[in-house]
Structure 1
Amino acid sequence: MNSRSSKPLSRQQERGQKILQAATQLFSEQGYHHSSTRQIAKAAGVSEGTVFNYFESKNALLEEIIKGFYERLTETAQDGLHERHNSLDQFNFLAKNHIRMIAADNFLLMRLLAVYFSEHFNFYLDYQNSSIFKHSKSYTRLFDRIIREGIARKELRKDIKLSAMRDLFFGSMEYGVRSLLAQLEPGENQLSDRKLRQYAKTLCQPIWESMKVRGHEHQNRRELEICERLERVAERLEGHL
């Protein structure tokens, strides 16, 4: 189910994808608990028995959808980071991309994670052995890489407690998404790219400031100004599309 793969899907894989897509759509529109495997089968154009041939339960479908979200989150982040060549730009991009992806499809990932945690009462007792943790870890390693490279470039302090900063970063992003969700107007289910970018920057700046090496203020300020100019250009271009 990797979108990077150039190999055509087999008939069996295509059927599994259709079932996942149907489940994702129904979970988004009706909610997990109001979507039956019979409805999923009908939407996918297969029998209910076929659904269970691919996924042992509706809960297994839920887990596979969440894993797919993390794979796409990691993939889009990797692509964007590859195009950026300084730590501050990468740091800001990771934040914006995280919020954008989490907020997509009417905040579907957050809603599904809430269901997953409620269905797995003992999840946190065996968190590190869960498949969700493994996919999450692959993604959060990207943050670790940005910080380590920033330290190697002497842009960031050597004494940074990486695990604490990682928790602060992603914790801020997760809470930020909830805050943005509360700010949606009636009937509005998507946030503008401009609002996402501005909010990500607001959350990121104090975290970055706490990590950077003193004496690099001018350089980092210059980098931030360049990023802001590029963002304004992007906003103008978006306005003409």
Structure 2
Amino acid sequence: MNSKRSKPMNRQQEREQKILLAATELFSEQGYHHSSTRQIAKAAGVSEGTVFNYFDSKNALLEEIVRGFYSRLTETAQDGLHEKHDGFAQFTFLAENHIRLIAADNFLLMRLLAVYFSEHFNFYLDYQNSSIFKHSKTYTRLFDRIIREGIARNELRNNIKLSAMRDLFFGSLEYGVRSLLAQLEPGEKQLSDRKLKQYAKTLCHPIWESMKVRENAEDSRELALCERLERVAERLESNLKA
């Protein structure tokens, strides 16, 4: 549990949060292009001019919403990782936290990212210069740290292709969220904590095992398969950048 106490917001911060919440709801419910700043202002209980006092444009609002989600992903992951001392426990927690926040509020983040991608047509052509890349890089450093610490403990192989394993991990989580969404029972709006944790552990186990130092010759076949998976991930990464 996060032991940090949130500082009380002043009037300006409260007003900004109301505008962001109103924009978040409208963008997710009726789409970016069908949500006007006038509607956002009305939903937030402020004038349209006040919206522009805080945000230069509707796009600036969308950017701030996405940045806020990535900040929460990073902060909640950091808080939880401090409480875990075992490498696999940290690895699994990172997956649990990612799925939990992505799936929150009926997969609101995924819907808003879809809005972001539709608005920024050149996102994939210039990914490294996008704001999402900057937010994502800060967040994914947590994954890198877990792997590097595992290597330092001699628990994980020192020849791991970090970028490939990172893509494999987060790519699996993104697909896994969609898979979990399809498994919701009729009338079920949120994933149960038990199902979420079980799924995260099931997904993480083979990835973690593929990175571990092998002590027996019997494991060489499994290691070769894992290395092939890394090469496939590398090719996919190269194709996306081409």
State which drifts further: 176-185 or 82-91: 176-185
**Offset from partner CA, 1:206-236 (integer Å, 9 cap, x none):** 10110011239xxxxxxxxxxxxxxxxxxxx
Shift of 1:38: 2.0
Residue number in structure 2 paired with 1:227:
none
Counterpart in 2 of 1:114? Answer: 114
Task: Report the alpha carbon displacement of residue 8 of structure 1 after superposing the two structures with TM.
Answer: 4.5
Asked if 1:198 corresponds to 2:192, the answer is: no
Under a length normalisation based on structure 2, what TM-score does the superposition of the two structures give? 0.82
Alpha-carbon distance between aligned partners in 2 of 1:212 and 1:14, rounded to the nearest angstrom: 48
Give the TM-score normalised by structure 1.
Answer: 0.82
- Structure 2 gaps, min length 5: 217-242
Question: Where does residue 211 of structure 2 map in the other structure?
Answer: 211
Matched with 2:131 is 131
**Structure 1 partner of 2:151:** 151
Give the % identical residues.
86
Deviation at 1:52, TM superposition (A): 2.0
| Moved segments of 4+, more than 6 Å | none
Instruction: State the distance in 1 between where 2:6 and 2:119 align.
Output: 35
C-alpha contact (below 8 Å) 2:27/2:115 kept by paired residues: no
Cα drift, residue 117 of structure 1? 0.8
- Give, as a single letter, the amino acid of the residue that structure 1 aligns with 2:177: V
Do the aligned partners of 2:106 and 2:190 also contact (CA within 8 Å) in 1? yes
Q: Distance in 1 between matches of 2:7 and 2:101?
A: 26
Cα-Cα RMSD: 1.8
Name the SS for the 2:154 alignment partner: coil
Q: CA deviation at 1:127?
A: 1.6
What residue in structure 2 maps to residue 224 of structure 1? none
Q: Structure 1, residues 8-27: CA drift from partner, whole Å, max 9, x if none?
A: 44432322111012222333
**Retained in 1: the 8 A contact 2:70–2:139?**
yes
**C-alpha contact (below 8 Å) 1:28/1:106 kept by paired residues:** no
The alpha-carbon distance between structure 1 residues 185 and 45, as it changes in their structure 2 partners (threshold 3 A), is same
Paired amino acid for 1:167: D
Deviates more, 1:55-64 or 1:117-126: 55-64
- 2:139 and 2:160 mapped to 1: Cα distance? 20
Which deviates more, 9-18 or 125-134? 9-18
1:172 corresponding residue in structure 2: 172
Please tell me the residue identity of whatever aligns with 1:102: I
Alignment partner, residue 86 of structure 2: 86
Number of residue pairs aligned between Structure 1 and Structure 2: 213
C-alpha distance in 2 between matches for 1:194 and 1:69: 24
The match for 2:226 is none
